[in-house]
Structures are given as C-alpha cells and as structure tokens.
Amino acid sequence: MAAGVPDLLRQIVDLDIKQALQIAFLLYAFLGVGALLLYRKLPDEPLDASAVSAEPLRKSRTIVLTLAALFSLDAFAGGFVVQSLLALWLFQRFGLSLAATGAIFFLTGILSAGSYLVAVQISKRIGLVNTMVFTHLPSSLCLLLIPFMPSLGPVIVLLLIRSALSQMDVPTRTSYVMAVVSPGERAAAASVTAVPRSLAAAASPMLAGSLLAMSGFGWPLLIAGALKIVYDILLLAMFRKVRPPEERLEGL
C-alpha cells in the first residue's frame, strides 16, 4: 500500500516523480534500520546442552538433494514473476499506475499472509505433500492464464486467487523437510534446500526482463506457470509416498 506514497507526495507538496521516488527509497532504508534495531533486542540465549548436535547429511542425503533440486525449479520459475517485473508488465499491458499497482499488491500480500495460517489446518487433514501440491497447482494455472486475459479485471481476479493459494506451500515445505530428516541433520537440510533456491531465483529475473523488453504478451508469466506446474507434478509423483512419521501414525 505504501507504494502509492510517491503519488501522494506529488499532490501534497508538489514534488516531481523523481524526488518522490527518492524519498520512498530513503523510507525503505529507514525501515531496514528499524528492523535491525528490533533484531538486536532478541535475547541471546545459550544453547541447550541436551539438544541434538548438528551433523552432516547422511541417510537423508538423497531425499534432501532431490527436494533441493525440485525447490530450485520452483524458485527459478518464481523469479520470472517477482513483483517489480509483474508491476512493469501491468504498466506495459494496461497502463496501471503506481498507486493502483501498490493497492493490488497490498491485497495479494494480505491474502498470502492469511494463507500461511490456513495451510496448517489443511495439512492436518490431507498431509504436507498434498497441501503443497493441491494448493500450488491451481495457483500455477492462474499464473499460466493471466497473459491470455483481455482486460484488467480478470487479471486482478486471477492474481488474487493465486495469492490466496501460492504461499501455502511455504510453511508446509519447511515443515516437510524438517520432518523427513533426523533431528541432527535438520540444520544441514535447511542449508542445502535454501541455498540452491536463492541461486535459482537470482537467475530468472534477467531472462524475464529480456522477454518483457521483446514482447508485452506476458511470456514470463506463461513460463513461470508452466515450470511451476512441472514442479507440482514431479513433487507429487516423487514424494507422495514419503510421509513424515507423524502422518504415518495418523494414517494420512
């Protein structure tokens, strides 16, 4: 929602758009400093002597590396639709203003945040892998359809539906990785699955920017949706029978 502040400043204090955006960047920096100060207030508690010591991947190595490859594919696909590129496409295709785009992203952010809580309840009923796939797959289909929409209204509806579903795999994904490895391997598993995701997500925005420069059709959204569907299908096919101990006990 704060993305509309530069337009508001232009109207209130008669600034040009460059000055208003510069102020917005300064505000972003101050918020980062505020986050730093809040983190410094966290208590520095000593490690529990009875806690399981961290160890390298051994018996879970194959599972973790396979999950890391799948998660990297998903992250690579997600890099095609980072918010900045999506905002650029909305502006190119529909001439959407900065304030209007900010309002849409505000709504999608609220829906994404709420979906984290809903994901917990769904996973209790159908399991972690099923929750990851059967919520993520419809959101990927929405992404795939967006470039073909003739007007802004259907695009906004699909974006909202996608936001309500696409992030449910985030808490369930983390929970699943921690559940299928031994306690001592959890730190290593978290690193091995997180680092490749970050690298993969860094590669695709460059390709997406080039595609947007060549065509306003929305190829990055189409490619992202298609790759995410491949990820969903592979995840279900390879891990639907690899259940955490808690799900085996509950018969999920």
Contacts made by residues 174-180, CB under 8 angstroms, sequence distance 24+? 175/123, 175/128, 176/128, 176/129, 176/132, 176/244, 177/64, 177/67, 179/128, 179/244, 179/245, 179/246, 180/60, 180/63, 180/242, 180/244
- Once rounded to an integer, what is the mean pLDDT over residues 210-236? 95
The residue to which tokens 């929602």 are assigned: 1
pLDDT in tens, 155-166: 999 999 999 999
pLDDT in tens, 170-212: 999 999 999 999 989 999 999 999 999 999 999 999 999 999 9
Dist CA 187 CA 52 (whole Å): 11
Dist CA 228 CA 223 (whole Å): 8
Q: How many helices (H) and strands (E) does the chain have?
A: 11, 0
Query: What structural domains and CATH numbers belong to the chain?
Result: 2-40 (no CATH), 61-250 (1.20.1250.20)
- Please state, rounded to an integer, the average pLDDT across all residues of the chain: 91
Q: What pLDDT is stored for residue 252 in this prediction? A: 64
Q: What pLDDT is stored for residue 16 in this prediction? A: 82
pLDDT at 45 over 80: no
Q: What pLDDT is stored for residue 49 in this prediction? A: 57
Is the entire prediction scored with pTM above 0.75? yes
- Contact between 201 and 150 under an 8 Å Cβ cutoff? The reply is no
- Once rounded to an integer, what is the mean pLDDT over residues 54-69? 92
